[in-house]
Structure 1
Amino acid sequence: MAMRTMKSVCRMCHGGCGVLIDVANDRVVEVRGDPEHPLTRGFMCPKGRATLALVHHPHRLTTPLRRIGPKGSTEFAEITWETALEEVADRLAQSMADAPESVVLSQGTDRNYQEWLFRFGNALGTPNVLGPAHICFYPKMMGSIMTLGDLTFPDYDGNPECIVIWGSNKIECHSDGVIGTGLMRAMRAGSQLIVIDPKRTALARKAKYWLRPKPGSDAALALGIIRVILDKGLENRAFIEAHTYGARELAEHVRAYIPEKVEELTWVPASLIEEAAIFYARASAAAIEVGTGIEQSTNAFAAIRAIRILSGICGNIDRRGGDVIWEPTGIIGRRDLPARHLLPESAEHKRLGSNEHRLLSMAGWAHPNAVWNAVLHGEPYPVAAMLVFGSNLLTLYANAARVQQALEAMPFLMVADLFLTPTARMADIVLPVATWVERNQIVEFNSYLAARRKALQVGQCKSDEEIINTLAQRLGLGEHFWHQADDSLNARLRPIGLTWKGLCELGYIANPPRYEKFRAAGFRTRDGLFYIASPVLRRMGYPSLPRYEEPKNMDRGEYLLTSAHSPFFFNSEFHNLPELRQRQPEPVAELHPCTAARHCLQEGMLAAIGANGAEALFRVQYNEYLDERVVYVPASWWDPEDEIWPRSWTQSNVNMLTTNTPPNPEMGTPQLRGIPCTLRAFVPPGATQVSTS
């Protein structure tokens, strides 16, 4: 048995750990952490270690399929790639001739082909690219851009004295190419933590200060912390006077956020807010890690703005050990590959949701609520086709019942995925895609550039890039793409004088931070200033300073429902991998024991959680560190076991309980954290006692 070993970069989650892949007889034998990788140094999480189970899963899709039964069924027939691509291209060609905007391109969590999807949409003439941007990463990105013109990352390797972990479980879930190993190294070197999370995470147990806010109240907390810092005179006056706009307005604005009022809004004791604020402000250097926990409430954009302002007034922006401004690596990458110039200006104004959520539209994204409305009601125009790449829409978006209605009404649906997910079962054409082990990709993160290398071929699976590139060729858009998808690799690396072969030989190229770049060139805002009060937002009709508002039009409930990502799954993925499912076999509702006792719920019993006119079932698990008013459930849960279909995606899906209105105006973020809910012991129909199974 001839064994070969390849260096690559894992993509079982957002992390991007360096790995070694052992291949023999066209099978992956082992995937293990690369001890020579300069960032991860051999680390690999449980998801990464389950790669073999994913690649060689018996239920992998390996050939294109055409639906021959009703939507939602498993009745499909195998077809050739030629037939599948011809049918998809024909539908797209018809839409291009009639109304390009009637095509919606959708993706899930970015797997390094996001820029390809935007390039395809722009060349096609549709402004409608759909993704979870309104609840993941983009509130953070747009909040940062509206403040300082750029995105920042915590500088773990710069010896921060203080690190604030805000709504993030970094060492278990990882994100954005900033692996938890960097945080752990900083902690071992002496960095002290402030953890802000409703849940007592592993990091909260190690923190100097753990602040346990009411879910969704982060904006109020950030503004309260700013008030304390200004009252104590702990702000960095030199930075504020030389590089900011709106400091006086801020001082007046936060007068309303006295600690006692903030305690009422957030449930965090005023004394603890003051202590944490003083510790952060007095740190020689402090970094803030912002997680998706902050980005999933109607106050998400305000919270991000307030947090960036907090970092700025304490002088931690772009300093060593602080929040460092990202600089691109120089390749044709995240900024250039989408080729936004290909989309006509007239099409930009047709983006679904652009009138309601202008900042989301500025980032290039359509809003899901507007998409479903166009499908179901034809307003402002009908949707003719949707192409979905790597996204299980039925578990991802709020108000899943309405998403189902939209997919049932969709005139044409193509899904490219690894498995026949609930969303794929709604499709007319299903295309089998490659895992990360089966494709060549340039990995571009904030601190490095790396090669993800194809180790083997499984069945007829193709990468998303191959599918997009081939469709573009068939539609006469080849001048904007490449003869083969892999031909793009050399073209993208050419600006830095490198080839794909050269990157593979190097494996990894560091992109070390440069500090205090603003001193020479200012910030990337119109006048080079850091916007505490944003004149851009003011001109757009939005508040120039962040403010906290209680969520509106919410049903009443005894408790507040929130969710968290599992360290064993990646959003809705991997529930069908035995190695991971045995670590978390069932969807659990974490409750304080006193909360459970009030409803005669014992650990292990089934609880029915109700919100917005629906109920979902979860297994009770005690958590004595939760506030008694909070209920925690997993995000994006579904059971892939066929024997319980079709209830597999509805029974314990938290998005059966969420609603998409009214979202915030800037980004269209709905209230997903802190939803009023009810709680009861589940009694099966016809039973005389509560269920324990």
Structure 2
Amino acid sequence: MGAKTTAAPAIKLDTLSDVNDLGKPWKFDDEDTGLHVTRSCVWSPPGCHPVGCGVKLYVDDDGKLVKVEGDENHPVTQGRLCMRCIALKDYIYNPSRVTKPMKRDRKYRGQADKWEECSMDEALSLIEENYWKTVKEHGFESVLVYTGTGRDGGVTSGSNLASMVFNTPNYCYTQSGYACYLPRMAASVYCSGIAYTEVDYAGTLEKRYDDPEYKVPEVIVLWGKEPLASNPDGLFGHAIIDMMKRGSKIIAVDPRVTWIANKADYHLRIRPGTDTALGMAMLDVIIKEKLYDEEFVDQYCYGFKEFAERCATMPPSKAAEICGVDEEDIIGAARMYAKADPATISWGLAVDQKTNGLQNGQVIVALTAITGNIDKPGGQLVAGAGTSVTGGENEDAEMMALARVEDPELHMKMIGMEEYPGYCGFCNNSHADLTLRALETDKPYPVRFAMLQNCNFAANSTAEPDRWIKASAEALDFCFALDCFITPSVQCAADVIIPLATTAETPTVVSVNYGATPVYRGFQNPAIKVGDCMGNAEFAYVMGSRLWPEKFENWGIHSTEDFLSHVWLGKEKFEDLAPTVLNQYDHEYFKYKKGKMRPDGGLGFATPSGRIELWSQAYEQFGDDPLPYYEEPHYSPYSDSEYMLPAYKEMYPFVLTTGARTYSFFHSENRQVPVLREINPDPIFEINPEDAKKKGVTDGMWVRVFNMFGECYLKAHLTPKVKPGVVHAQHGWWFPEEDGEAPHLFGTLRSQINNLIPNFHVGVIGFGAPFKSMICDFEPTDKNFDTDMQMIQEKFGRLD
């Protein structure tokens, strides 16, 4: 399954008007404005998951970005952009942005006034010197690469940075239980051999929805996903609207009322954390009423009898009581999904953010499988053998080998490999919770050198962030950051900062769904240069060439473009593909019938049984139950777990869910962009009006939110979007306009909802954590932390 490429003619045009024409020039002069235009597919920063939206970057004769427009030639986004892209200029030229390398002595960590500019060579030399010093004293395993979410190159290039550049097995996404995307991938791989399945929105087809091979889904299930705000993991949110206009009906599984959920035929407003019970009940209905695809089940499913018996233990009546939804709605939604031809499920972050997440993923895989919606037009889009990660043909094994250290003994030293092999071996990451333990205790060994790869752990994704802040600041002998801004994480832990280039300044490859479900492949083309900033790929090339000159020479890596080609494109060259801006992948359906889903060419799927495993041998191998089961969240009003003391039920009566996406921000980014901040100036805490009245809380009042792990201050928003008994808190908050000096650190812990989320509450295999299924209480406070937008505009400047 190669990618279609179209050579770009070397001519100038004054307009780009033909939708879906990938043969337009990638650079041209606009005669109406006199500006120079570069066509590109954006990644990050600023934050964006890998949709690869098409943009036109307009630059003046002085090399300054003047405006950003959507590229109507992009076959999927078709000129549509979110506000974060439109505000890109405000991000790039923000006065608080770091554009020169800086350093400070380790003893001044946390002190904002001790940073001083230095040359790039001095900054890189400090990194190189401290790296070899650490390796000599403690070994390569003492090196840690912290990574953020959705960054340049996604999951693969971060691993490449750790393995190829720093020769360490400890590449770590710092969120407890890797509770973002990877649990879904693990469930998919362990149950079906497919890296990830997603809604088929005709992104691979030249004529899109009008292609004769395509069929618009009759039903789309949005399971814990709000695609309009998040455009998550490569699913362009407005594609759902496109399909709704063409007749698709919606089933929404979401405790909150979103715009799309409000348009759904069934909105299953479950109690957060109870998704697995809902999925088992829907399966019970489909199996008992024989609404499943018997031919597919007979030929391509493993363990159906045992699976059916397990699902029968969760009838709709029982699930209704657990989930807090109407029994008839569960039955109706199950029938509607099973009878649709085709039907598709888009599964979101809510699947990952619970201890029971792999089981949630298991039942979603089963729903798509037993109804025969795998790899069919308008069903679940899947990759074939050899295209599951990078998109190249027959080069995956070699390219993925670059994402782990060469020495197998060193690889096995990865933190958490012994305790959680199904986690560490799968995602090639050190286990987040155990990495925190290593920083705090030096067990299993000390960690002394670290890189913050665009990772704002103090404000964004870590549970109990105060522990990560303290451990990072105290344990590391040397730490450097690659970032656009001095974030709370940079301020508390880093000694050197390398300024990070934005999406308009550096080349990279954008692979939808990180390549797990190839749809198209975009190329980020730089249009401007700001300061001494460098992108992730450029840093990997430059630093890798300094540390390992012979290896990089042998790999043929002599430039940033060579690095991108080596880790992403195999035999293809970035410089040849970049002018095409975007390649749609050739795609065919029903690959499992043609021997194209298994590396050995056999029929079926890439699992031990060759079938989709409703009874998962992989789960059993890693010590978990091979069949799905519902587990009540460790902390809930209905839990009788060892963690839930009887008194907690009265002390913390509300179910807390966190992290629903907003239009203004991507996690902790963009708080210093006034045009975005004024849309969402304060950290919002959503409360049902009935609950607020009982607590004496009015709309716009600041409240103290607390539980047994911590507290924070948020601004109350009374809304029926959340059910009585459920509250929702925004995440990722810090205040760039405030004092950055430790311990204040831009006020990040004041409004940090993750203060209330514990580490070390993961699933049996190591995935999942209770970010969306915790308990809490709240009370009014006389404190007032209202944002002064005038001050923010004066400090950061609002650009026209």
Shorter-chain-normalised TM-score: which range?
Answer: over 0.9
Corresponding letter in the other structure for 1:60:
R
Q: Give the distance between the partners of 2:546 and 2:317, measured in 1 at CA.
A: 63
User: Where do 1:131-142 residues align within 5 Å?
Assistant: 131=173, 132=175, 134-142=178-186
Tell me what 1:180 maps to.
Answer: 237
1:413 is matched with which residue: 479, 488, 499?
Answer: 479
1:91 maps to which of 117, 127, 130: 130
Deviates more, 1:78-87 or 1:505-514: 505-514
Secondary structure in structure 2 of the residue aligned to 1:376? helix
- Partner of 1:438: helix, strand, or coil? coil
Q: What's the offset of the Cα at 1:258?
A: 1.2
* Partner in structure 1 of residue 753 of structure 2: 654
User: Where in structure 2 are the equivalents of 1:145-294 lying within 5 Å?
Assistant: 145-150=189-194, 151-157=196-202, 158-294=215-351
Structure 1: distance between partners of 2:178 and 2:724: 29
Deviation at 1:537, TM superposition (A): 1.9
Q: 1:29 to 1:639 in 2, by over 3 A?
A: same
Aligned partner of 1:687 in structure 2 is none
2:796 aligned residue: none
Equivalent residue runs for 1:92-131 within 5 Å: 92-97=131-136, 98-113=138-153, 114-123=155-164, 124-131=166-173
Cα-to-partner distance string for 1:397-429 (whole Å, 9 max, x where unaligned):
001111111112122211110000000112111
CA distance in 2, matches of 1:220, 1:389: 37
* Contact in 1 for aligned 2:737/2:746 (Cα 8 Å): no
User: What are the within-5 Å matches in structure 2 for residues 228-377 of structure 1?
Assistant: 228-327=285-384, 328=387, 329-330=391-392, 336=399, 339-340=402-403, 342-362=405-425, 363-377=427-441
On the 8 A contact 2:156/2:403 being kept in 1, the answer is no
Q: Which moved more, 1:138-147 or 1:369-378?
A: 369-378
Give the counterpart letter for 2:172 in structure 1.
Answer: L
Deviations 1:18-71 (A, max 9, x none): 110001112110111111111111100111111001111111101111124632
Superposed CA deviations along residues 531-576 of structure 1, whole A, max 9, x for unmatched, are: 1101222122211012111122245411011111212100111111
Tell me whether 209-218 or 124-133 shows the greater mean CA deviation.
Answer: 124-133
Q: Structure 2-normalised TM-score?
A: 0.83
In the superposition, relative to structure 1, how do residues 478 and 270 fare at CA in structure 2: closer, same or farther (>3 Å)?
A: farther
> What's the Cα RMSD here?
2.0
26-35 vs 172-181, which moves further: 172-181
Distance in 2, Cα, partners of 1:104 & 1:646: 23
Aligned counterpart, 1:540: 622
Please say if residues 191 and 365 of structure 2, whose CA atoms lie closer than 8 Å, have aligned partners that are also in contact.
yes
* Cross-structure match for 1:450: 522
Report SS of the residue matched to 1:224: helix
Quote the residue 2:468 is aligned against.
403
Distance 2:626 2:562 in 1: 45
Shift of 1:613: 3.5
**2:399 match: secondary structure:** coil
- Is residue 162–residue 191 contact of structure 1 (8 Å, CA) maintained in 2? yes
Contact 2:439–2:446 (8 Å) recurs in 1: yes
Residue 109 of structure 2: which of 49, 54, 71 is its match?
Answer: 71
Cα distance in 2 for partners of 1:6, 1:544 equals 51
Matched residue of 1:41: which SS? coil
Moved more, 485-494 or 542-551: 485-494
Contact 1:638 1:648 in 2 (8 A): yes
Deviation at 1:505, TM superposition (A): 2.9
Residue type at the aligned position of 2:545: Q
Q: Deviations over 1:435-490 (max 9, x none)?
A: 01100112222211121101111011111222222221222255245222223345
How has the CA–CA distance of structure 1 residues 692 and 348 changed in structure 2, closer, same or farther, with 3 Å as cutoff? closer
Contact 1:234 1:314 in 2 (8 A): yes
Q: Distance in 1 between matches of 2:294 and 2:229?
A: 37
Please give the alpha-carbon distance, in whole angstroms, between the structure 2 residues aligned to 1:188 and 1:384: 55
- Counterpart CA distance in 1 for 2:148 and 2:722 is 30
Partner of 2:767: 668
Whichever residue aligns with residue 261 of structure 2, its letter is A
Cα deviation for residue 662 of structure 1 reads 2.1
Greater CA drift, 67-76 or 436-445:
67-76
Instruction: Provide the C-alpha distance between the structure 1 equivalents of 2:489 and 2:545, rounded to a whole number of angstroms.
Output: 27
CA distance in 2, matches of 1:364, 1:458: 34
Q: Which amino acid aligns with 2:574?
A: W
User: 1:525 — aligned with what?
Assistant: 607
- 5+ residue gaps, structure 2: 1-32, 203-214, 513-517, 596-603, 635-642, 788-800
Match of 1:562 among 657, 672, 676: 657
What secondary structure is seen at the aligned counterpart in 2 of 1:289? Answer: strand
Between the aligned partners of 2:622 and 2:478, the Cα distance in structure 1 is 36
- Residues 3-14 of structure 1: pairs in structure 2 closer than 5 A: 3-11=35-43, 12-14=47-49
SS at match of 1:678: strand
Deviations 1:237-281 (A, max 9, x none): 110000111100111111210112111211111111000000000
CA distance in 2, matches of 1:456, 1:200: 41
Tell me if the contact between 2:682 and 2:786 (Cα under 8 Å) persists in the aligned partners: no
Counterpart contact for 2:52–2:511, Cα < 8 Å:
no
1:598-652 per-residue CA deviation (whole Å, 9 max, x = no partner) reads 1100101111110234211111111113211111111212111124843610111
1:381 to 432, 436, 445: 445
Counterpart of 2:584 in structure 1 is 510
Q: Is the 8 A contact 1:493 1:499 kept in 2?
A: no
Quickly say closer, same or farther: Cα 1:205–1:38, change in 2 above 3 A. same
CA 1:494 to 1:190, structure 2 compared with 1: closer, same or farther past 3 Å? closer
**Count of aligned pairs between the two proteins:** 687
Secondary structure of the residue that 2:108 maps to in structure 1?
coil
